[in-house]
């Protein structure tokens, strides 16, 4: 694989992982515009653990993810008190605070950035990414995943059926943090340099776009969204000047044509329909 494609592949994996970190809370009805903040925490903490503490890289990635998950858990309580657009603002504000903290932390080189020693090539990144994707698909088939989607659709009714909405949302937010931490760790060990400037609001916006345009109803959404948005700009490189105009128009078009995202439950049913006709369960006489 050429260096060019390896680079794109690594970015693609990073985008997919971070998209899933935003998808998990989104699937239970919470909009997170602070992905960059969590990614930064994962990048710095895993980089620090592998470089300064000298831990093996995979262990550092895992610990970085756990640190990020812990931060997500703690801040989920104030954040989940907010709703809708206020939650968007709260998560955005969190990411700004994170940026402000890291830019002043001398231990991480402050604004100059933080060099990370260990290198993660695609042999590490791709399996990690696949692991995240499989985990999220699995989670969404469990009763917890069902609870998340129920809380997303109608929280009061989900509660009436016994779902602990707060527990469900805190869990989704925390797991989202863990996944974002993995994304940050991938970044840190692939670029071997962590600069807080890379984890800015644009990253948070783009990742949220991947998820919302890919669709929050199924675990396919973020995958399709991230792949589409990572590869599309590459395909548009041919017309460099018009690239961002075309890109913007595409986003608007998709929001008009498929307001619930590219991949919806109904669409999956249509695709599955002709191939997998499940036999109706037999009527049981009683």
- Residue 99, interface with other proteins (CB under 8 A)? no
Taking the complex as a whole, the smallest distance from the CB of residue 211 to other proteins amounts, in Å, to 15
Nearer to other proteins, 143 or 237 (CB): 143
**Is residue 235 exposed (0-12), middle (13-18) or buried (19+ Cβ within 10 Å)?**
exposed
Angle between helices 165-191 and 122-141 (to 10 degrees): 170
Residue 256 binds other proteins (CB under 8 A): no
| Shorter beta-carbon distance to other proteins: residue 121 or 269 | 269
Residue 104 or 141: the one with the smaller Cβ distance to other proteins is 141
In whole angstroms, the minimum distance from the beta carbon of 283 to other proteins comes to: 5
Q: How far is the CB of 150 from other proteins (least distance, A)?
A: 5
Q: Which of residues 14-33 bind other proteins (CB under 8 A)?
A: none
| Nearest alpha-carbon partner for 18 in 33, 34, 35 | 35
Q: Which of 95, 118, 136 is nearest to 46 (CA)?
A: 118
Sorted by sequence, the CB contacts under 8 Å of residue 46 that are 6+ apart come out as 60, 61, 63, 64, 65, 67, 181, 184, 185, 188, 189
What's the closest the beta carbon of residue 254 comes to other proteins, in angstroms?
A: 19
Residues 122-181 that bind other proteins (CB under 8 A): 138, 140-147, 149-150, 152-154, 156-164
**Shortest separation between residue 145's beta carbon and other proteins, angstroms:** 8
**Crossing angle for the helix pair 3-27 and 35-51, to the nearest 10 degrees:** 120
* Radius of gyration (C-alpha) of the chain in whole angstroms: 20
**Shortest separation between residue 249's beta carbon and other proteins, angstroms:** 28
Total of chain residues touching other proteins, rule CB under 8 A: 35
Q: Whose Cβ is closer to other proteins: residue 126's or residue 144's? A: 144
Phi, psi of 15, deg, nearest 5? -65, -40
Burial class for 15, CB neighbours closer than 10 Å (0-12, 13-18, 19+): buried
Give the footprint of other proteins on this chain (CB under 8 A): 138, 140-147, 149-150, 152-154, 156-164, 217, 265-266, 269, 272, 278, 280-284, 286
């Amino acid at each position: 694989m050429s260096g060019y494609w390896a680079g794109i592949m690594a970015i693609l994996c990073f985008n997919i992982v971070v998209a899933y970190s935003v998808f998990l809370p989104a699937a239970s009805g919470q909009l997170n515009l602070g992905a960059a903040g969590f990614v930064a925490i994962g990048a710095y903490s895993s980089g620090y653990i592998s470089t300064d503490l000298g831990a093996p890289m995979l262990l550092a990635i895992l610990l970085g993810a756990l640190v990020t998950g812990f931060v997500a858990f703690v801040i989920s309580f104030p954040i989940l008190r907010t709703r809708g657009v206020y939650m968007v603002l709260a998560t955005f504000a969190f990411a700004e605070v994170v940026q402000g903290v890291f830019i002043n932390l001398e231990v991480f080189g402050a604004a100059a950035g933080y060099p990370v020693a260990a290198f993660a090539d695609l042999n590490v990144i791709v399996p990690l990414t696949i692991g995240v994707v499989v985990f999220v698909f699995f989670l969404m088939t469990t009763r917890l995943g069902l609870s998340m989607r129920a809380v997303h659709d109608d929280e009061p009714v989900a509660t009436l059926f016994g779902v602990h909405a707060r527990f469900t949302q805190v869990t989704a937010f925390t797991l989202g943090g863990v996944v974002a931490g993995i994304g940050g760790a991938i970044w840190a060990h692939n670029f071997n340099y962590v600069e807080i400037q890379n984890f800015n609001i644009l990253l948070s916006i783009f990742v949220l776009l991947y998820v919302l345009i890919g669709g929050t109803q199924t675990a396919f959404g973020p995958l399709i969204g991230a792949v589409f948005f990572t590869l599309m700009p590459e395909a548009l490189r041919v017309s460099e000047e018009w690239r961002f105009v075309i890109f913007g128009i595409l986003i608007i078009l998709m929001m008009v044509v498929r307001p619930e995202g590219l991949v919806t439950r109904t669409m999956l049913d249509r695709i599955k329909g002709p191939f997998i006709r499940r036999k109706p369960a037999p009527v049981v006489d009683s």
